[in-house]
Amino acid sequence: MASLLLKDIYKVYPSGVTAVTDFTLDIEDKEFIVFVGPSGCGKSTTLRMIAGLEEISDGELYIDGKLVNNVQPKDRDIAMVFQNYALYPHMTVYDNMAFGLKLRKKPKAEIDEKVKEAARILGLEPYLTRKPKALSGGQRQRVALGRAIVREPKVFLLDEPLSNLDAKLRAQMRTEITKLHHRLATTFIYVTHDQVEAMTMGTRIVVMKDGYIQQVDAPQMLYDYPANLFVAGFIGTPQMNFFDAVLIKDADGKVYVEFEGRKVLLPKAKSDKIINPEEYLNTGKPVVFGVRPEDLHDEESFINNSKDTVIDVRVDVVEKLGAETLLYCVFNNKEDEDEQDGKVKSLVENVTQLIAKVDSRTTTQRDQNINLAIDIMHSHLFDKETELTILDGEGTKAYVPVKELERRAKEAEELALHPELAEKKAKKAKKNK
């Protein structure tokens, strides 16, 4: 059992790469913290700094209130489970789990008790005499967990432990690890690039990008109140729909979101939440309107009850997933038709502009022109330039480090001065896609 405090932590590799910037996080005892983000965002580096496998370039790391920057990994009371579980192939399951304790010269009886207890918790009792090659992937991963459990560490660090397993086994191991966390009542820190793992396992999620924390919150809070465009797009599948928009206020004081030649009403309860309305209303300042696929409805009853938020689209592809159906839609705009000159548009140009996740019993078909109603109270608004949410008062504990904003401002300034860099960056982004 342990609490951790990471304070203004930086990691600069000898090569000059700054992998982690200004990482500040308070982790309470017994939390299940997940670091999530795209590959290369600094998750593993942060975890390895906690483990002591990587030197901390700047900042302070406390475990249970004790500064441990210079404490050896073996003295940090931490156990780490890796993606590549690297069991000793010539040893039995029992010996694999006992090995670390033997090295520590623990008494035989104590080792035996701990190994058996771990085997019981993990359902490995029938396999104790087997060698790793006679185990399934899931069983091997459990042995790797067992090796960590027998040490009774204060903190468990897990680095993508499930990514070598197939989808079904991954789902099963996910629940097993969650159960293990409840059972051991110990602090867990888990690294993954998989947002489903993050959402299902974490008590709190730390979303990272380019070495910076983007937001820290409980899974549902992150999902409902993303603090910026990146978090909004990263958490949730299919990803949130984004539309370039502006906000209009009419003579009656009603506020509308205008996008793709369409206009939907923001109810007062929602428009009252806009931070600095004078900056956005009737100023033409670009915003991004975000709507999750499940907040778009094709049922008639919903459409009839939401007349102010209905948009018309053409269905491009219908994907029946069994439990739900995805509608890939495009906006049928007059100008686009004119541009076509009666020719068939190329497939590449014909990009999906919107995805709706609807009931699997929908009768909507491909090529149909349909209406979709937006569940507007669950929609999102972001400043196009800063990419931060412009909605407030929704109870989020959103945390966006000031340094990240400063970095973005500096980057924008540089790009304005050197337009050729912008081109390079756009090319690189396209390539990474």
Nearest distance from C-beta of residue 242 to ligand ADP, angstroms: 24
Residue 432 C-beta: closest distance to ligand ADP, Å = 13
| CB-facing half-sphere around the CA of 240: CA atoms within 13 A | 26
In the complex with ligand ADP, which residue's Cβ is closer, 15 or 70? 15
Q: Confirm if 190 and 35 have CB atoms less than 8 A apart.
A: yes
CB of 55 to ligand ADP, least distance (A): 11
Q: In terms of CB distance, is 157 or 247 closer to ligand ADP?
A: 157
Which residue's entry shows tokens 């998989």?
194
Task: Give me the amino acid identity at 46.
Answer: T
Q: Name the token pair of 110.
A: 């104590």
Give yes or no for a cis peptide into 277 (omega within 30° of 0).
Answer: no
Contacts of 314 (CB under 8 A, 6+ apart): 329, 330, 331, 332, 367, 368, 369, 370
Of 41 and 247, the one with the shorter C-beta distance to ligand ADP is 41
Per the CB < 8 A criterion, the answer to whether 206 and 200 are in contact is no
Least Cβ distance, residue 15 to ligand ADP (angstroms):
5
Task: Report phi then psi at 174, rounded to 5.
Answer: -55, -50
As measured in angstroms, the least distance from the Cβ of 170 to ligand ADP is 18
Q: Which is nearer to ligand ADP, 41 or 145 (CB)?
A: 41
Q: How far is the CB of 163 from ligand ADP (least distance, A)?
A: 11
List of residues contacting ligand ADP (CB under 6 A): 13, 15, 17, 19, 37, 39-45
Return the H-helix or E-strand segment holding 22.
Answer: strand 18-27
**Residues present in the chain in total:** 433
Alpha carbon distance 164, 298 (integer Å): 39
Shortest Å, Cβ 210 to ligand ADP: 9
In this complex, which beta carbon is closest to ligand ADP, that of residue 17 or of residue 416?
17
Residue whose CB is less far from ligand ADP, 307 or 424: 424
Strand segments, DSSP code E, in 193-267 are 204-209, 212-217, 241-249, 255-259, 262-266
| Residues 143 and 100: beta-carbon distance below 8 Å | no
Nearer Cβ to ligand ADP (43/114): 43
